[in-house]
Amino acid sequence: MKKNYLIFISFLIGVFIWSGIYLPKSFQLEEEKLFLIEKGQSLFQISQYLEKEGLIKNRFFFNLYVILKGSQKKLQAGKYYFKPSENIAKIAKKIISGDTAKIIVTIPEGFTQKQIEEQLGIKLPGENLEGFLFPDTYQFPIDVTGEEVVKKMRENFDKKFAPYRNEVSGAGLTPFEIVTMASLIEKEARGKEDKEIVSGILWKRMENNIPLQVDSTITYITDKKTTKISKEETQIDSPYNTYKYLGLPPGPICNPGLESILAALYPESSQYWYYLSTPEGKIIFSKTLEEHNLAKVKYLK
């Protein structure tokens, strides 16, 4: 009888502890709370603060769970997102693993450094960043610094570009030249085939000392959102003005994606010398200036 009583008491204690650890404080869907754990805070300080913020039912169960896991010294400082609907085990595991609060941001292909800064709300320090901040989806700590963003985006660029470095040097070009050309292609064309043909046209015009006349270099100067440029704007005295100056601009005009980089490296040879983009984004290629002018009348009314 006494043995059964002890078993029953043990069972009740087990259920009590299990429910304290694995049942959340609230089953309602509530907003996440930002919770700060400062460096040097002890287990007992953290659990007291969690209880005070209404994220856990009782600090005793949090302390017990962490101690049973042997993780008292593994709790990591940082900012975390928690909900009252998360149980103690889940909250503790986040702190033990350092799963701090993050922001997920997608940087589209063709974004400039300025646009990236505006999207993130921070200044990106460093030189020659334009073109080398690889467009991708990133996870950053909620309090990420400009230096950390640049480091991660540059490392991503280096990783993506690394397989082609030998081919770039073998073609007698520099990574900077390829990325600069890729930035023009990114702004001028959509789709792999069109990008490769545009690349072929631009490289061919360079080889024959013909101005590239890329409209997007003008909008890079003026910082206008429209793709339309005026005749007066083509006379702007800037080294980025590819109507006024021969060759590539002094640097990239945006941050191109891998498809545009590969198009710059592997251009498609064609009989075309000119192209234009319709308001719908379709590219019209022309072999002669006469054809090009007729296309402008037809498609750019």
Taking only the tens place, the pLDDT of each residue in 115-162 is: 999 999 999 998 889 999 999 999 999 889 999 999 999 999 999 999
Name the domain boundary from 45, 76, 97.
97
Q: For tokens 């460093």, what's the residue?
A: 126
The set of residues, in sequence order, having a beta carbon less than 8 Å from that of 58 and lying 6+ positions away, is 20, 51
User: 88 and 195: one domain?
Assistant: no
Q: What is the pLDDT of residues 242-281, one digit of tens each?
A: 999 999 999 999 999 999 999 999 999 999 999 988 888 8
pLDDT recorded at residue 256: 98
pLDDT recorded at residue 115: 96
User: 287 and 180: one domain?
Assistant: yes
pLDDT > 80? residue 18? no
The verdict on residue 275 lying in a domain is yes
The verdict on residue 200 lying in a domain is yes
Cα-to-chain-centroid distance, residue 101: 17
Average pLDDT over the chain reads 92
Name the domain boundary from 34, 68, 97.
97
Of 192, 193, 136, nearest in space to 161 by CA? 136
User: 181 and 295: one domain?
Assistant: yes
The verdict on residue 209 lying in a domain is yes
246, HSE (Cβ side, Cα atoms, 13 Å): 7
The verdict on residue 239 lying in a domain is yes
Q: Can you tell me whether residue 300 is helix, strand or coil? A: coil
The verdict on residue 3 lying in a domain is no
Confidence of residue 1 (pLDDT cuts 50, 70, 90): low
Question: How many structural domains are present in the chain?
Answer: 2
User: 281 and 180: one domain?
Assistant: yes
The verdict on residue 241 lying in a domain is yes
Q: Domain of residue 62: give its range.
A: 19-97
Name the domain boundary from 57, 79, 97.
97
pLDDT recorded at residue 230: 87
User: 178 and 93: one domain?
Assistant: no
The verdict on residue 160 lying in a domain is no
Confidence of residue 199 (pLDDT cuts 50, 70, 90): very high
* Residue type at 45 in one-letter notation: Q
Q: What percent of the chain has pLDDT over 70?
A: 97
Of 204, 212, 300, 200, nearest in space to 253 by CA? 212
Choose between 65 and 25: higher pLDDT: 65
Q: For tokens 């087990």, what's the residue?
A: 14
The verdict on residue 128 lying in a domain is no
CA distance 91 to 88: 5
- Token pair of 235 as six digits: 């006379």
DSSP of 226-291: -S---TTGGG---TT-TTTS-SS-SS-SS---HHHHHHHHSPPP-S--EEEE-TTS-EEEESSHHH
**Burial readout 241-272 (b: 16 or more C-beta within 10 A, e: otherwise):** bbbbbeebbebbbbbbbbbbbbbbbebbeeeb
CATH number at residue 62: 3.30.1490.480
Q: What is the pLDDT of residues 82-116, one digit of tens each?
A: 988 999 999 999 999 999 999 999 999 999 999 99
How far, CA to CA in Å, does 240 sit from each of 116, 252, 263, 285?
20, 9, 21, 24
What's the mean pLDDT in 193-208? Answer: 97
pLDDT recorded at residue 11: 72
Confidence of residue 5 (pLDDT cuts 50, 70, 90): low
Q: For tokens 């069109």, what's the residue?
A: 194
User: 80 and 184: one domain?
Assistant: no
User: CB neighbours (10 Å) of residue 292?
Assistant: 17
User: 196 and 86: one domain?
Assistant: no
Whether residue 285 contacts residue 270, with contact meaning beta carbons closer than 8 Å, is answered with yes
pLDDT > 70? residue 289? yes
